[in-house]
Amino acid sequence: MLVPDIIIAVDGYSSTGKSSFAKLLAKEFSFLYLDSGALYRGVTLFAQENGFISADNSIDVPGLEKGMESLDLHFSNVDGKNVLFCGERNVEKEIRSMKVSSQVSPIAAVAEVRVFVDRKLREAGASKRVVMDGRDIGTTVFPNAEIKLFMTASAEVRARRRFDELQAKGENPQMEEVMKNLQERDYIDSHRAVSPLVQAPDAFVLDNSDMTFAEELAWVRGVIQGKFGILE
């Protein structure tokens, strides 16, 4: 299927399989994949390591804002994967840890942090043919994205996916803690003042609780074909 030069925005709750799905689409249509959550996670790691966030989640916003002026977060290709670097350092493993997950949503609620990340995302999306996943891609970052998808799945399915993912990475997760973290992040992400997680009115909703990747792909092909009148 020949897909035109468009932006595909994939938004939704934590662990709904957004990133696996977005990566699949990028591969299928030869688009660039961009993980906006990785940038929020990168800023969180930076804030933790430099004392801009404390254990009780209080954030030194002026300090963090100043620190971000020289913060070099970027993606680089490592063995065919788009991996996050902070300067020379590959931070991919650290940013996926529970420690970062536990503080990323308060950090992502800071307006100055969102400005920092949005700038990077818009630069990357300027050339189109991009699939971007996150919480506010179709509402704030690219409100004119040609295709907007909103992903959801049951809480049990989401917690199980994240649990398996952490275990596969060699962490020793507790199911209760994983579930609690998902629920907390859903709440903070949906209730924050700046760019909350909401479904764009023109988004297509995908509940993938019981779907395989092949079914998801068939579904999105149908969406794109319908939107652009492509026959095959």
List of residues contacting ligand CDP (CB under 6 A): 14-15, 19, 36-37, 40-41, 104-105, 108, 134-137, 185, 189
The minimum distance between CB 22 and ligand CDP, in angstroms, equals 10
Residue closer to ligand CDP, measured from CB, 37 or 125: 37
Nearer to ligand CDP, 40 or 46 (CB): 40
Q: Please report how close the Cβ of residue 129 comes to ligand CDP at its closest, in angstroms.
A: 19
- Closer to ligand CDP by CB, 194 or 225: give it: 194
> Shortest approach of ligand CDP to residue 189 CB, angstroms?
5
Burial of residue 157 (CB within 10 Å: 0-12, 13-18, 19+) is middle
Q: Looking at beta carbons only, is 136 or 216 nearer to ligand CDP?
A: 136
Q: Which is nearer to ligand CDP, 13 or 31 (CB)?
A: 13
Pairing of the two strands 81-86 and 73-78: antiparallel
> In the complex, what is the shortest distance from the CB of residue 231 to ligand CDP, in angstroms, rounded to a whole number?
34
Contact in structure between 92 and 141 (CB atoms under 8 Å): no
Helix-then-strand count for the chain, H and E? 9, 8
Please report, for residues 30, 189, 196, the alpha-carbon distance to residue 56 in angstroms, rounded to integers and kept in the order given: 43, 18, 22
Q: How far is the CB of 185 from ligand CDP (least distance, A)?
A: 4
Tell me the pairing of strands 147-152 and 130-134.
unpaired
CA atoms within 13 A on the CB side of 11: 28
Residue tagged 């994967």 (tokens): 81
